[in-house]
Amino acid sequence: MKVLGIETSCDETGIAVYDSDNGQVWQRLYSQIEKHREYGGVVPELASRDHVVKAAPMLEEIIAEIGDIGALDAIAYTRGPGLVGALMVGANLARGLAWALNKPLLGVHHMEGHLLAPMLGDETPELPFVALLVSGGHSLLVDVRRLGEYRILGETLDDAVGEAFDKTAKLLGLPYPGGPELARLADSVASSRFEFPRPMTNRPGLEFSFSGLKTAALNIVRENEPLDEGLRAEIAHAFQQAVVDTLRIKCRRALEATGYRSLVIAGGVGANRCLREELQKTVRKLDARVYFPALEYCTDNGAMIAYAGALRFLAGQQDNEIYEVLPRWSLDTLPVI
Ligand code: KG4
Ligand code: ZN
């Protein structure tokens, strides 16, 4: 069964087809980063307009690859959370297609897409598992008992992890989106003379707070100006170390609290090399396992939406009567499948 997935919640246009019979994926991904870079962040109106221009031609390319638009069994799109105008572009394209082809339509939760993305790989986690979702807009730990049954164990009280990476990168003069750039700079040195706090780790609980790290970075930058390349790398290194350490501590706590043996990492920050290495060490000590999506499925993409849509369609869900997108949508309110 072939399901089309359309992702337009933020600044990536992702179009993919997932075949549930053999796991095959056809996909196109277009990043708008260049369009937003000069503004230092995503400009919602530009994002919507660019999705309009890019989505349909990308869809045509994929259809040419699979041969026949009639081969699609269902159409899935990101219904939320995200930028409202951007979401509407994908939703309307999906709705038009579903109507024209007389096919079932599925509105997928963006974060459910992220947390199921590791299942597109060869080694898939068994349920139940703990998921750490770390992206530009979200940071949460989720207890995944069954598909659709998501209990939020802890969330950020302020900035998301990716946001903290991006803001600190900006302070260091790195181009937007700074997360990967900051990581590269951090990895260029083996140690740092600086030390950042590990927020909210000295008391029990699974909540996060990352805005203090950005302030700590600002203070260090001010105290050490002018910064040369070496100093910037050391600041980046200490910042990354603090974030990774904090996430590692909370993941360990979540595994201990649930008694689960599998940890799934998803979202753009899941691409971070240092985070991957440290979590591998942590789970080894706990006799548990950690699963990461392939790098191409870590950041926003259409395949994860097609996959989540396929699972929901196979479970009998259909959203052809739903018309509104949900810019805010809590993960723990989804129907269990
Ligand atoms: O999941 P995603 O593509 O989009 C959202 O739904 O937000 O995540 C993007 C975020 C950005 O903040 C980006 O800077 C961060 O993920 N990111 C990274 C790395 N790669 C992407 N942060 C740290 N290290 C990386 N290697
Ligand atoms: Zn995302």
> Which residue has the least CA distance to atom 10 on ligand 1?
136
Residue whose pair of structure tokens reads 């069954």 in the numeric block: 146
> Which residue has the least CA distance to atom 7 on ligand 1?
136
Given this model, what pLDDT does residue 150 score? 97
What is the side-by-side order of every strand in the sheet holding 129-134?
149-155, 139-146, 129-134, 262-266, 289-291
Q: Which residues neighbour 281 within 8 Å (Cβ) at sequence distance 6 or greater?
A: none
Given this model, what pLDDT does residue 306 score? 98
Given this model, what pLDDT does residue 277 score? 97
Beta carbon of 94 within 6 Å of any ligand 1 atom: no
Given this model, what pLDDT does residue 74 score? 98
Residue whose pair of structure tokens reads 């803001």 in the numeric block: 167
Phi and psi at residue 253, to the nearest 5°: -60, -40
Give exposure, 316-327, as e/b (b: 16+ Cβ within 10 Å): ebebeeeeebbb
Beta carbon of 262 within 6 Å of any ligand 1 atom: no
CA pair distance 251, 139, nearest whole angstrom:
12
> Is the Cβ–Cβ distance between 328 and 110 less than 8 Å?
no
CA pair distance 240, 59, nearest whole angstrom:
38
pLDDT in tens, 21-40: 999 999 999 999 999 999 98
> Which residue has the least CA distance to atom 2 on ligand 1?
268
CA pair distance 158, 207, nearest whole angstrom:
10
Beta carbon of 129 within 6 Å of any ligand 1 atom: no
CA pair distance 146, 122, nearest whole angstrom:
20
β-bridge mates for residue 262, sequence order: 289
Q: Please, is 337 exposed, middle or buried when counting C-beta atoms within 10 Å of its C-beta (0-12, 13-18, 19+)? A: middle
Q: Which of 11, 140, 165, 240 to mutate to test the pocket of ligand 1 (most atoms within 8 A of CB)?
A: 165
Give exposure, 264-287, as e/b (b: 16+ Cβ within 10 Å): bbbbbbbbbebbeebbeebbeeee
Cα–ligand 2 centroid distance for 222 (angstroms): 32
Low-confidence residues in the chain, pLDDT < 50: none
Give exposure, 192-206, as e/b (b: 16+ Cβ within 10 Å): bebebebbbbeeeeb
What is the number of the ligand 1 atom nearest to the C-alpha of 266? 1
Beta carbon of 8 within 6 Å of any ligand 1 atom: no
Beta carbon of 156 within 6 Å of any ligand 1 atom: no
Residue whose pair of structure tokens reads 């703990």 in the numeric block: 130
Given this model, what pLDDT does residue 145 score? 95
The structure tokens listed for 17 are 């087809």
Nearest ligand, measured from the Cα of 244: 1
Given this model, what pLDDT does residue 77 score? 98
pLDDT in tens, 131-163: 999 999 899 999 999 999 999 999 999 999 999
The structure tokens listed for 314 are 């196979």
